[in-house]
């Protein structure tokens, strides 16, 4: 039976713009304004999907996020998005839709036979079998059959969704009658109102049920609301879903934009929830047949899109609400029978046959509906519209901690006032009917109730799944969970609602239990002789409906993901042929030249033979200024610094309170009241905040300041025997002792020189303000040729310092290394005063002889960093590991540093170096392998 | 997204803050016993409800004491260290 | 009744009416030989081991909510033993070896899928740290190895290899025996087996106080009345510090929210467990087809099972940096568990406070993978009153002696 | 050894502007500046007499004391010798911060993408987390000023360029 498009009904569609799309192998026709669902209903086949587990034929059921069946992989101009709900997919010309979890198509699905096995594969059957021989034998086939849509490996959605924060006075979520009334009342009191609506336009159910408000058609009321909001600095966001309620009443909302979406983080002073309700189905046998639809949804498709659900329509209900639906369908010329469960029923609308005291027992048909049995009589019908009452949409109230109470009179779980920061109004609060919803909305915002002739508050005959009924009855259409499954769960003790959900997967599909949670709960209550409140509800978890990962992930990608700090002289280094790598949050030259490995060796050699320059700008420069500086540094550092003379520098460690080495570096004291802590480039912020702790908590902050001026200076380090020659060539002549620091000028710019060596050769750190960096670089570059020097990258520097046995924190130390493990036991032995970490240096573990200590290793060939040290004989266990390992061009042999259990006392001993199963021999040496006496400094 | 109040800068997003330690655990000095020192370094109350914690407002670098409820997430106050 | 294809087929004919409750919904007796507080995986496994290995069946598991409802039901189901220190490897590989036989042992399909786990590195420095761990694993007898770039890329073909990728896949640590399991099935499997051996599993029973007389545990106060015992095991994760404090035991445990995410189900696209060091995000694909995604903690001390937006934005942007094509997918569900984090990210196992009180807590973000070991060790302590060799290094006293087992510090990777 | 990512993006040059339909971003030339701590009143009186303390998104004159914290300020348009001057500390900081001046129709939406701070609440400190990194935010009339430490100028340029295709001039 193909669909039926009414010749002139359809407020949302533009008949002047016809569209065609393809669903599986079938062409379907629609208009601009249609959704894929409305176009399918109007022109398409009945079977549009296959159920997840039994692969039964399925048709369109609902109109929004509650749609359990109509899921497609949608391709639009080359881009595919899987698992899209037809009800939420705007129809576009040339759109291709492919039914999920069915092949080749929904109608001709090859896995149809699975339904024959249904008796043997109830809920949770997989816990009871697939054990023989091990799960791995069965898993691949089961995984292939599971899953809905297919990911398109060639579609990479761009990271272009901005995240925007916003604050407002009142946030109203939902623009149905109640929401409109609340927003209008608040806006008219000059409050800044944000109104969020999930649909494409305002009005909610008014759009198909209509209604008169304040003496005029509801559309006037909606327009007046819009004007009031915009006039009082408010905002209206349609196509926007409020999907998460977080702490401090923050609401996350996903706005679907024409060119790109927006991820909103809204912090309202007050929030009103007016998210309406979802119609409940009924539970006759074979209630999953194509042609069985929600009555409210069918009415929605008729009025908004002119899509008529059927020609011989049976409406099964217990509610006055369905009478307007019946009237609307009768007006199209369709044959309409309304079966009301109640004894007393409202007057029959024209052209509608009303039967009272009717119970829908079963629906009949193979791949579409032929008819249904009411009480014990068959009625022919091609569409069975069901209405089992309404379930308030309370997700956001519950997400923010709100509780629910069972209200027997409203036959619904409604929000308990005061248990969340939101006021809940309208159908979401169990207030069904136009008049009551408008009144509740207006008064919630301190306004007067708008008047309307439609003052009734719907009630309905409570409908429940009959746990004694025979036949196959579906509770969760999308996850294929039947009433028998709920009874099985009860029988096996999974009686908590959370256990029911997890054991049967009821309510865990992508419609998130909108039409299945209530009947599942009711059926479990009956099966265990408990009331609904006693059985309880499952927790509501974000998102309210599935949200694209790309919306939440936002623009944080590639360049914008964990961005690196960049050197001011980056371009100059690129011009020299530098290869760049990531070092401690900075992008820095690793070497200069195409063949990186060869360049590294050549650079390390040149630095020892003649002179080399490297960019050391990332080295931390923390100005510690004021009379309180010495006392602060003495407490913060492991080494005393108050004894450092102005014009001098000292190597020092910073410990955590646990005694673990946190950072090391040289502290300069250019003048009496000023120190500069050169923290490691990767640790600058952490060191600053480590120092701020005692500065603010223990000392008087007004007497000592900490200024991070790292990024105000360019530092180029000149190192090598011909370094003084190079300095002279650029007009810098200085006689500084080793570990001396001087502040002078160079041309008209300030210049700080520190004679500090990380390479083991005579080295000068030249620091000039950022603006003078390029000039210093150029002058040095020009002078390099004359002294046969070259630019070097960080890899060469790492070799040079390793030859000297100088450590790099985090590489040559791990999270348990204390200063005395590195041979720096002095302060631990002598300092009487307090300093960070002091007491931790005297714990049982700190005093143990088997601590891992820094040693050098001499090996025949290069060992790999990360290899472990093992005894040469006896049971194999780790005694430590190699932390740094290189081929030293200057010593023409491999060098390595390691942390070794009791290493200090093992000089000269032979040890095994274990890597990936193989063991090499090595001899334990001192850490420093080059110029141990330090004559070259 | 929670909002925390820096005593100087005022309310800001939670991403601007870093939890340091629980407040009111003074540092034991001049050779505390290993039990006293371990208690200072590691033992915490982790109260279920009202708590006084030391936080850091990263942009301005100020440490301060925040009073909050660890279950309801309500923030009841923030005061500078001195 | 035994679970098997045969019994399933027989019941298929009889409308599945023959099945009995998987575990008996017991009411509390006056006294037990041993009581375990916490009806999660660890508590239920402990009860099973007490009955099965130690023959102690006058045992009760007290759960304030519904069994498996805490962290056992809220984690990302990853099972692995790629740890650095021998003590950790002994613990987690004991758990992995027990997991490997658990479906048969419990006659309950926990769907252990040993599909392997890759910890991916992006810089030479990270490759060095991975090498350090891989060698440590091998020395400790665990199947860990360093994997180079090409083989790693083949494990995760959809991972971002484009020029715009923030993190290149340079290789990493591979453990073939690591994988995932169905978390609910672990709890229900242990509950069914323990109940069948006579253990009382009591849900909806919150322990409000611990009774001590003359330095010895004599029982607990619960909302279903007092229950006597002299041997009490605490396996209540985030609730443990509060209970321990009642008998003067102060623990080094902060509780934070750890969030996890699930995407809509899709056909198989990921066949291994993957963690990127660069983004800190890790994921696997469940048998039902959902991507199960996890990452860092919400660093705000809390006792509420709910996380906030910043952690979500960080974890999910990490995911799409790793797999740009996953931007097609939608978030289906997000939830949080309250994880009990210890400064050295290792658990606290052992006696504490009054005689007869034993702790099994501090599992932080890594409790699920350790369930069978947690059960074995706590059962051993409750039955014998003494440490098991594997639990000894994790005693609370390590914080006094300073002999921490700091995996993050040792391995250079936050665990 | 495998190559790492090559970072090809570049920062706006000094005095360069990039613009799209509704947003223009100009990198202001670096003015002489210094960081001061301690007795801020005395420091301002000495180095930039008459300058007012500027907080978050507050209007600032050419010479201004942009407050970073309770006891720390960035003086723009004035500098001094480094060290302790009796009651306050000075560190020369010319070039430490790069100033991006943002003007155009929907500035507020652009700023709302970088921070959730309420820009109308006139917080006394101009420091905040913007686009994930610590910055300073002030204003000159309708034009917003985002101050970013120099090594992050490239990141912020890429971040501000955002979606709309930006023309650089």
Ramachandran class of C385: left when φ > 0, alpha when ψ lies in -120 to 50, beta otherwise: left
C149 and C39 in a common domain: no
Q: What is the 3-state secondary structure (H, E, C) of C382-410?
A: HHHCCCCCCCHHHCCCHHHHCCCCCHHHH
- Residue A934 resides in a domain: no
Instruction: Check CB contact under 8 Å for D124 and B11.
Output: no
Closest CA to A269 of A196, A191, A197: A191
Tell whether C151 lies on the interface with A, counting CB pairs under 8 A.
Answer: no
Confidence of residue D165 (pLDDT cuts 50, 70, 90): low
Interface test with B, best of D72, D127, D136, D146 (most B CBs within 10 A): D127
- For residue D69, give the nearest of B1, B11, B60 by CB distance: B60
Q: How many independent structural domains does chain C possess? A: 2
Which of D121, D120, D118, D156 shows the shortest CA–CA distance to D135? D156
Closest Cβ–Cβ partner in B1, B75, B81 for A697: B81
Q: Are residues A612 and A726 in the same domain?
A: yes
Instruction: Identify whether A407 is part of a domain.
Output: yes
Is A284 in the same domain as A385?
A: yes
pLDDT digits (tens, 9 = 90+) for A379-406: 999 999 999 999 999 999 999 999 999 9
Question: Are residues C374 and C402 in contact, defined by beta-carbon separation less than 8 angstroms?
Answer: no
C6 close contact with A: CB closer than 8 A: no
Q: What single-letter DSSP state applies at residue C267?
A: S
A193 and A273 within one domain? yes
Give the distance from residue A133's alpha carbon to the nearest chain C alpha carbon, in angstroms. 10
d(CA A566, CA A560): 13
Q: Which of the listed residues C294, C322, C340 is the one where a domain comes to its end?
A: C340
Q: How far is B47 from chain C (nearest CA, A)?
A: 8
Q: Give the Å distances, CA to CA, from B15 to B3, B4, B11, D11, D109.
A: 9, 9, 12, 26, 20
Q: Is D91 on the interface with A (CB under 8 A)?
A: yes
For residue C105, the SS3 value is: helix
CA distance B56 to chain C (A): 12
**Mutate which: B18, B23, B37, vs A, most A CBs within 10 A:** B37
A7 burial via Cβ count (<10 Å: 0-12, 13-18, 19+): exposed
Angle between helices C371-384 and C183-196 (to 10 degrees): 30
Using CA coordinates, name the residue in chain C closest to D6. C163
| Closest alpha carbon to D58 in D110, D114, D127 | D127
* Shared domain check, C404 and C263: no
Per-residue pLDDT tens over the stretch A867-880: 999 999 989 999 99
Q: A3: pLDDT confidence band, cut at 50, 70 and 90?
A: confident
- Nearest CA to CA, how far is C80 from chain B (Å)? 27
Establish if C2 belongs to a structural domain.
no
Whole-angstrom distance, CA of residue A104 vs CA of residue A111: 10
**Residues whose CB is less than 8 angstroms from the CB of residue C154 and which lie 6 or more positions away in sequence, other chains included:** none
B14 in D contact zone (CB under 8 Å): no
Nearest CA in chain A to B33: A839
Angle value at C-alpha C317, between C312 and C319, nearest 5 degrees: 100
Q: Which of A813, A671, A844 is closest to A741 using CA atoms?
A: A671
Residue C258 maps to a domain:
yes
Q: Do C304 and B72 touch (CB under 8 A)?
A: yes
Please write the tens of the pLDDT for every residue from A454-481. Answer: 888 888 999 999 999 999 999 999 999 9
Give the pLDDT confidence score for residue A232 in this predicted structure.
Answer: 95
d(CA C10, CA C102): 25
Helix ranges (DSSP H) in A701-766: 723-729
| Interface residues of chain B, partner chain A, Cβ below 8 Å | 1-3, 13, 18, 20, 28-32, 34, 37-38, 40-41, 56, 58, 61-63, 73, 75, 81-82
Q: Is residue A56 part of a domain?
A: no
Question: Which helix (H) or strand (E) element contains residue C26?
Answer: none
Give B57's strand partners. Answer: B17, B62
Q: Measure CB to CB from residue D9 to each of A559, A704, A712 and give the nearest one.
A: A559
Residue A698 lies in a domain: yes
The pair of three-digit structure tokens given for residue C320, joined into one six-digit string:
């799409």
- Which residue among A673, A701, A769 places its CB closest to the CB of D83? A673
Among C318, C340, C362, residue at a domain's last position? C340
Q: What is the pLDDT of residue A37?
A: 97
Sheet harboring A578-583: ordered strands across?
A: A565-566, A586-592, A578-583
Residue A842 CB coordination number (10 Å): 14
Distance between C127 CA and the closest CA of chain D, angstroms = 11
CA-based nearest residue in chain B for residue D114: B13
Q: Which residues contact D114 (CB under 8 A, 6 or more apart)?
A: D130, D131, D146, D159
Which candidate, C224, C253, C210, C226, places its Cα nearest to that of C357? C210
Task: Please tell me whether residues A293 and A383 are part of one structural domain.
Answer: yes
**Is the model's pLDDT at A899 over the cut of 80?**
yes
Half-sphere exposure of D72 (CA within 13 A, CB side): 22
Q: Are residues C125 and C216 in the same domain?
A: no
> Which residues on chain A are in Cβ contact (under 8 Å) with D10?
571
Residues of B in contact with A840 (CB under 8 A): 37, 41
CB of B8 within 8 Å of a chain D CB? The answer is: yes
Same domain? For A612 and A742 the reply is: yes
- C-alpha torsion angle, residues D12, D15, D16, D19 (rounded to 10): 100
Q: Does A150 touch chain C (CB under 8 A)?
A: yes
Q: Which residues on chain C are in Cβ contact (under 8 Å) with B71?
A: 302-304
What is the distance of C-alpha C83 from the center of its chain? 15
Distance of CA D42 to the CA centre of its chain: 23
Q: Where are the domains of chain B?
A: 3-25+45-80
* pLDDT for the residue A456: 83
A227 part of contact set with chain C, CB < 8 Å: no
Q: Say yes or no: A565 contacts chain D, CB-CB below 8 A.
A: yes
Co-location of C37 and C99 in the same domain: yes
Among candidate residues A800, A819, A843, the one where a domain is terminated:
A800
Burial of A925 per CB tally in 10 Å (0-12, 13-18, 19+): middle
- Kindly tell me if the per-residue pLDDT of A533 is higher than 80: yes
Same domain, residue pair A687 and A573: no
Instruction: Report d(CA A719, CA C268) in Å as an integer.
Output: 56
Return the CATH number at A626: 3.30.70.1400
CA atoms within 13 A on the CB side of A705: 29
pLDDT given for residue A735 in this prediction? 87
Q: What is the CATH number of the domain that holds A606?
A: 3.30.1360.120
8 A C-beta contact, residue A701 and residue A711: no
Contacts of A562 in chain D (CB under 8 A): none
Question: In terms of domains, do C297 and C327 share one?
Answer: yes
C165·D4 Cβ contact <8 A: no
Q: In terms of domains, do C268 and C406 share one?
A: no
- pLDDT tens for each residue of B40-59: 999 999 999 999 999 999 99
Q: Is D109–A586 a contact, with Cβ atoms under 8 angstroms apart?
A: no
Q: Which residues of D touch C122 (CB under 8 A)?
A: 4
The C-alpha atoms of residue C232 and residue C124 are separated, in whole angstroms, by 49
Tell whether A840 lies on the interface with B, counting CB pairs under 8 A. Answer: yes
Question: Average pLDDT in the A324-339 region?
Answer: 96
Report the CATH number that the domain containing residue A399 is assigned in CATH.
3.50.50.60
Give buried/exposed letters for A324-341 (b at 16+ CB in 10 A, else e): ebbbbbbbbebbbbbbbb
Q: Check pLDDT > 90 for residue A197.
A: yes
Question: Which residue from A488, A495, A548 is facing C16, i.e. has the nearest CB?
Answer: A488
Tokens of D139: 């204003």
Contacts of D69 in chain B (CB under 8 A): 8-9, 60-62
Contact B38 C245 (CB under 8 A): no
A850 and A893 in a single domain? The answer is yes
- Please give the average per-residue pLDDT across A320-348, as a whole number: 95
Q: Is B49 exposed, middle or buried (0-12, 13-18, 19+ CB in 10 A)?
A: exposed
C317: domain CATH number is 3.30.9.10
DSSP assignment of B35-68 equals HHHHHHHT-----SSEEEEEEEETTTTEEEEEEE
C-alpha to C-alpha distance for D145 and D27, rounded to whole angstroms: 9
C3, part of any domain = no
Whose CA is closest to A625, among D77, D41, D97, D36? D36
CB burial of A609-639 (b: ≥16 within 10 Å; e: otherwise) equals bbbbbbbbbbbbbbbbbbebbbbbbbbbbbb
Q: Is A656 on the interface with C (CB under 8 A)?
A: no
DSSP string of A44-95, one letter each residue: S-S--EE-TTT--EE----SSTT--S-EEEEEETTEEEEEEEGGG-B--TT-
pLDDT score, position A1: 53
| Residue B18, Ramachandran bin (φ over 0: left; ψ between -120 and 50: alpha; else beta) | beta
Q: Which fold has domain B3-25+45-80?
A: Folate-binding fold (3.30.2270)
Of the residues A597, A712, A713, the best mutation for testing chain D's interface (the one with the most D CB atoms within 10 Å of its CB) is A712
Tell me: do A260 and A370 sit in the same domain. no
pLDDT at B1 over 80: no
The stretch A197-202 carries a mean pLDDT of 96
Residue A233 domain-assigned?
yes
Mutate to test the interface with A, among B3, B4, B19 (most CBs of A within 10 A): B3
Q: What is the pLDDT of residues A76-115, one digit of tens each?
A: 988 999 999 999 999 999 999 999 999 999 999 999 999 9
The first and second tokens of residue A286, run together, are 């074979």
Q: Is D167 a residue whose pLDDT tops 80? A: no
When divided into structural domains, chain A yields a total of 6
CA-based radius of gyration for chain B: 14
Domain span at residue C136 reads 117-178+254-340
Over pLDDT 70: what percentage of chain A? 100
What percent of chain A stands above pLDDT 90? 96
Residues A927, A803 contacting (CB under 8 angstroms)? no
Structural domain includes residue C17? no
What is the enclosing helix (H) or strand (E) of A634? helix A629-636
Q: What is the pLDDT of residue D163?
A: 63
**What string of DSSP letters covers chain D?**
----------PPPTT-EEE-SSEEEEEPPPPPEEEEEESHHHHHHHHSTTPPEE-TT-B--SSEEEEEETTEEEEES----SEE-SSEEEEE-TTTEEEEEEEETTHHHHHHHH--S-TTS--S--EEEETTEEEEEEEETTEEEEEEEGGGHHHHHHHHH-SSPPEE-
CB contact under 8 A, B2 and A250: yes
Q: Is residue C9 part of a domain?
A: no
**Radius of gyration of chain C from its Cα atoms, rounded to whole angstroms:** 21
What SS3 class is residue A677?
Answer: strand
Nearest to C325 among A134, A139, A151 (CB): A151
- Whether residue C164 is found in the same domain as residue C299: yes
Question: Quick check: C136 and A878 CB within 8 A?
Answer: yes
C-alpha torsion A77→A80→A83→A88, nearest 10: -30
Q: Which of A707, A680, A684, A711 is nearest to A569 (CA)?
A: A711
Q: At D82, give phi and psi (nearest 5°).
A: -70, 150
Give CA–CA dist A924/A936, Å, rounded.
25
Closest CA to C392 of C342, C341, C343, C351: C351
A257 with A399, same domain: the answer is: yes
Query: Of A748, A782, A800, which residue is a domain's last?
Result: A800
- pLDDT 10s per residue in chain C (415 long)? 899 999 999 999 998 999 999 999 999 999 999 999 999 999 999 999 999 999 999 999 999 999 999 999 999 999 999 999 999 999 999 999 999 999 999 999 999 999 999 999 999 999 999 999 999 999 999 999 999 999 999 999 999 998 899 999 999 999 999 999 999 999 999 999 999 999 999 999 999 999 999 999 999 999 999 999 999 999 999 999 999 999 999 999 999 999 999 999 999 999 999 999 999 999 999 999 999 999 999 989 999 888 899 999 999 999 999 999 999 999 999 999 999 999 999 999 999 999 999 999 999 999 999 999 999 999 999 999 999 999 999 999 999 999 999 888 766 665 5
For residue A674, what are the domain limits? Answer: 622-708
d(CA C134, CA C411): 10
Same-domain pairing of A704 and A842: no
Cα(C87)–Cα(C93) distance, rounded to whole angstroms? Answer: 10
Does residue A169 sit in the same domain as residue A253?
yes
Q: Which of A375-389, D8-22, D56-70 has the lowest mean pLDDT?
A: D8-22
- Residue A641 and residue A612 share a domain: no
Condensed to tens digits (0 to 9), the pLDDT of residues A43-74 reads 878 999 999 999 999 999 999 999 999 999 99
ipTM for this model: 0.96
- The DSSP code for A133 is T
| Boundary (domain end) residue, out of C290, C306, C340 | C340
Rounded Cα distance, D13 and D28, in Å = 9
């Amino acid at each position: 039976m193909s669909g039926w498009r009414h010749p002139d009904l359809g407020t949302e569609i533009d008949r002047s713009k016809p569209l065609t799309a393809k669903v599986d192998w079938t062409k379907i026709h629609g208009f601009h304004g249609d959704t894929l669902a409305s176009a399918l209903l109007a022109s398409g086949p009945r079977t549009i999907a296959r159920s997840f587990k039994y692969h039964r034929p399925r048709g369109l059921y609902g109109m929004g996020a509650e749609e359990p069946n109509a899921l497609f992989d949608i391709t639009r101009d080359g881009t595919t998005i899987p698992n899209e709900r037809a009800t939420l997919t705007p129809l576009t010309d040339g759109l291709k839709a492919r039914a999920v979890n069915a092949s080749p198509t929904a109608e001709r699905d090859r896995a149809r036979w699975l339904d024959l096995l249904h008796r043997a594969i109830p809920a949770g059957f997989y816990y009871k079998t697939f054990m023989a021989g091990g799960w791995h034998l069965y898993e691949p086939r089961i995984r292939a059959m599971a899953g809905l849509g297919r990911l398109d490996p060639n579609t990479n959605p761009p990271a272009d969704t901005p995240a925007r924060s916003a604050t407002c006075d009142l946030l109203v979520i939902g623009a149905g009658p109640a929401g409109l009334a609340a927003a209008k009342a608040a806006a008219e009191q000059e409050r800044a109102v944000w109104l969020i609506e999930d649909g494409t336009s305002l009005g909610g159910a008014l759009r198909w049920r209509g209604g008169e408000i304040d003496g005029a058609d509801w559309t006037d009321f909606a327009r007046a609301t819009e004007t009031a909001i915009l006039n009082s600095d408010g905002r209206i966001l349609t196509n926007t879903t409020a999907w998460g309620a977080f702490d401090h009443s923050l609401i996350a909302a996903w706005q679907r934009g024409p060119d790109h979406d927006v991820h909103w983080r809204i912090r309202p002073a007050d929030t009103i929830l007016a998210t309406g309700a979802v119609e409940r189905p009924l539970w006759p046998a074979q209630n999953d047949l194509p042609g069985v639809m929600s009555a409210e949804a069918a009415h929605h498709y008729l009025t908004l899109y002119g899509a008529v659900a059927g020609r011989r329509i049976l409406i099964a209900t217990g509610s006055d609400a369905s009478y307007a639906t019946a009237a609307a369908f009768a007006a199209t010329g369709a044959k309409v029978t309304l079966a009301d469960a109640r004894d007393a029923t409202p007057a029959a609308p024209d052209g509608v046959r009303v039967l009272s005291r009717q119970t829908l027992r079963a629906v009949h048909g193979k791949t579409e509906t032929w008819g249904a049995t009411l009480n014990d009589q068959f009625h022919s019908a091609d569409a069975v519209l069901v209405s089992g009452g309404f379930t308030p949409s309370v997700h956001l109230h519950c997400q923010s901690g709100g509780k629910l109470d069972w209200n027997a009179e409203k036959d619904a779980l409604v929000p308990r006032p005061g248990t969340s920061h939101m006021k809940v109004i309208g159908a979401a609060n169990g207030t069904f009917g136009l008049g009551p919803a408008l009144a509740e909305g207006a008064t919630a915002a301190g306004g007067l109730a708008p008047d309307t002739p439609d003052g009734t508050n719907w009630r309905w005959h409570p409908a429940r799944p009959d746990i004694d009924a025979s036949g196959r009855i579906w509770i969760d259409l999308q996850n294929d969970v039947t009433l028998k499954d709920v009874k099985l769960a009860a029988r096996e003790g999974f009686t908590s609602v959370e256990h029911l959900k997890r054991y049967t997967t009821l309510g865990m599909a992508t419609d998130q239990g909108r039409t299945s949670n209530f009947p599942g709960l009711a059926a479990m209550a009956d099966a265990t002789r408990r009331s609904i409140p006693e059985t309880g509800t499952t927790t509501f978890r974000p998102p309210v409906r599935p949200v694209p990962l790309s919306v939440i992930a936002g623009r944080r990608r590639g360049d914008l993901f964990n961005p690196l700090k960049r050197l001011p002289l980056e371009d100059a280094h690129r011009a020299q042929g530098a290869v760049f790598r990531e070092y401690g949050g900075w992008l820095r030259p690793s070497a200069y030249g195409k063949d990186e490995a060869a360049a590294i060796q050549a650079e390390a050699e040149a630095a020892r033979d003649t002179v080399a320059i490297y960019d050391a700008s990332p080295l931390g420069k923390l100005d510690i200024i004021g009379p309180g500086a010495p006392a602060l540094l003495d407490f913060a550092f492991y080494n005393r610094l108050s004894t450092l003379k102005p014009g001098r520098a000292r190597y020092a460690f910073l410990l955590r309170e646990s005694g673990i080495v946190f950072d090391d570096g040289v502290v300069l004291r250019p003048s009496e009241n000023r120190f500069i802590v050169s923290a490691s480039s990767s640790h600058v912020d952490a060191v600053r905040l480590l120092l701020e702790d005692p500065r603010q908590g223990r000392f008087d902050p007004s007497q000592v300041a900490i200024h991070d001026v790292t990024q105000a200076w360019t530092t180029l380090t000149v190192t090598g025997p011909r370094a003084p020659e190079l300095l002279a060539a650029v007009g810098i002549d200085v006689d500084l002792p080793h570990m001396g620091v001087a502040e002078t000028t160079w041309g008209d710019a300030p210049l700080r020189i520190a004679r500090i060596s990380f390479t083991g050769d005579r080295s000068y750190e030249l620091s000039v303000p950022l603006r003078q960096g390029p000039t210093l670089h150029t002058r040095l570059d020009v002078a390099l040729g004359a002294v046969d020097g070259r630019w070097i990258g960080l890899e060469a520097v790492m070799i040079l310092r390793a030859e000297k046995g100088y450590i790099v924190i985090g590489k040559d130390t791990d999270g348990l290394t204390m200063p005395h493990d590195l041979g720096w036991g002095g302060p631990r032995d002598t300092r009487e005063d307090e300093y960070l970490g002091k007491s931790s240096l005297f714990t049982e573990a700190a005093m143990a002889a088997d601590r891992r200590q820094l040693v050098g290793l001499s090996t025949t060939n290069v060992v790999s960093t990360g290899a472990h040290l093992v005894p040469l004989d006896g049971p194999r266990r780790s005694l430590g590991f190699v932390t740094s390992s290189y081929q030293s061009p200057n010593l023409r042999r491999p060098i390595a540093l390691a942390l070794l259990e009791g290493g200090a006392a093992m000089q000269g001993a032979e040890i095994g170096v274990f890597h990936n199963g193989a063991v090499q021999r090595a001899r334990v040496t001192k850490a420093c392998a080059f110029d141990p006496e330090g004559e070259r400094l | 997204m929670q909002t925390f109040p820096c005593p100087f800068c005022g309310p800001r997003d939670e991403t601007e803050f870093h939890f340091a330690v629980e407040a009111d655990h003074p540092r034991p000095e001049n050779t505390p016993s290993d039990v006293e020192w371990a208690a200072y370094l590691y033992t915490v109350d982790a109260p279920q409800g009202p708590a006084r914690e030391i936080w850091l407002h990263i942009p301005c670098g100020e440490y301060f004491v925040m009073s909050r409820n660890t279950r309801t997430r309500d923030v009841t106050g923030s005061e500078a260290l001195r | 009744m035994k679970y098997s294809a045969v019994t399933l087929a027989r019941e298929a004919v009889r409308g599945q009416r023959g099945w009995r409750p998987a575990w008996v919904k017991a009411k509390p007796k006056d006294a037990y030989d041993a009581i375990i507080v916490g009806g999660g995986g660890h508590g239920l496994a402990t009860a099973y081991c007490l009955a099965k290995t130690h023959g102690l069946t006058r045992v009760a598991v007290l759960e304030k909510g519904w069994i498996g409802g805490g962290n056992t039901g809220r984690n990302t189901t990853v099972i692995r033993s790629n740890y650095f220190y021998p003590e950790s490897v002994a613990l987690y590989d004991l758990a992995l070896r027990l997991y490997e036989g658990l479906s048969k042992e419990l006659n309950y399909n926990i769907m252990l899928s040993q599909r392997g786990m890759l910890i991916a590195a992006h810089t030479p420095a990270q490759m060095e740290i991975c090498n350090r761990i891989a060698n440590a694993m091998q020395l400790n007898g665990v199947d860990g190895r360093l994997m180079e770039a090409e083989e790693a890329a083949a494990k995760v073909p959809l991972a971002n290899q484009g020029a715009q990728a923030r993190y290149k896949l340079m290789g990493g640590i591979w453990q073939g025996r690591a994988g995932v399991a169905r978390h609910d099935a672990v709890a229900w499997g242990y509950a069914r087996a323990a109940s069948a051996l006579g253990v009382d599993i009591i849900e909806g029973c919150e322990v409000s106080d611990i009774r001590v007389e003359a330095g010895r545990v004599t029982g607990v106060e619960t909302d279903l009345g007092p229950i006597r015992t002299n041997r009490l095991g605490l396996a209540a994760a985030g609730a443990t510090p509060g209970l321990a404090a009642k008998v003067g035991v102060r623990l080094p445990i902060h509780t934070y929210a750890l969030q996890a995410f699930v995407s809509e189900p899709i056909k198989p696209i990921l066949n291994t467990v993957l963690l990127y060091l660069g983004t800190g995000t890790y994921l696997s694909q469940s048998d039902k087809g959902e991507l199960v995604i996890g990452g860092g903690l919400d660093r705000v001390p809390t006792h509420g099972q709910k996380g906030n937006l910043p952690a979500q934005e960080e974890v999910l942007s990490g995911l799409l940096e790793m797999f740009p094509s996953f931007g097609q997918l939608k978030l289906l569900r997000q939830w949080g568990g309250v994880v009990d984090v210890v400064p050295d990210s290792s658990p606290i196992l052992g006696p504490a406070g009054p005689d007869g009180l034993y702790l099994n807590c501090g599992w932080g973000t890594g409790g699920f993978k350790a369930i069978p070991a947690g059960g074995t060790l706590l059962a051993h302590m409750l039955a014998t009153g003494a440490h098991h060799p594997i639990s000894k290094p994790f005693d609370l006293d390590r914080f006094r002696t300073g002999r921490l087992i700091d995996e993050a510090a040792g391995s250079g990777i936050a665990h | 050894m495998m190559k790492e990512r090559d970072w090809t993006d570049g920062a706006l040059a000094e005095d360069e502007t990039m613009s799209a339909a509704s947003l223009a971003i100009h990198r202001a030339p670096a003015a002489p500046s210094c960081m001061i701590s301690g007795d801020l009143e005395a420091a301002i009186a000495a180095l930039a007499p008459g300058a007012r303390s500027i907080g978050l998104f507050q209007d600032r004159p050419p010479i201004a004391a942009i407050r970073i914290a309770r006891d720390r300020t960035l003086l723009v348009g004035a500098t001094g010798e480094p060290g302790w001057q009796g009651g306050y500390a000075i560190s020369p900081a010319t070039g430490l911060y790069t100033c991006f001046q943002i003007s155009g129709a929907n500035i507020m939406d652009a700023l709302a993408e970088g921070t959730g701070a309420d820009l109308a609440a006139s917080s006394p400190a101009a420091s905040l987390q913007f686009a994930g990194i610590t910055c300073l935010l002030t204003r000159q009339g309708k034009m917003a000023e985002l101050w970013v430490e120099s090594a992050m100028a490239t990141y912020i340029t890429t971040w501000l360029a955002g979606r709309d295709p930006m023309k650089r001039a």
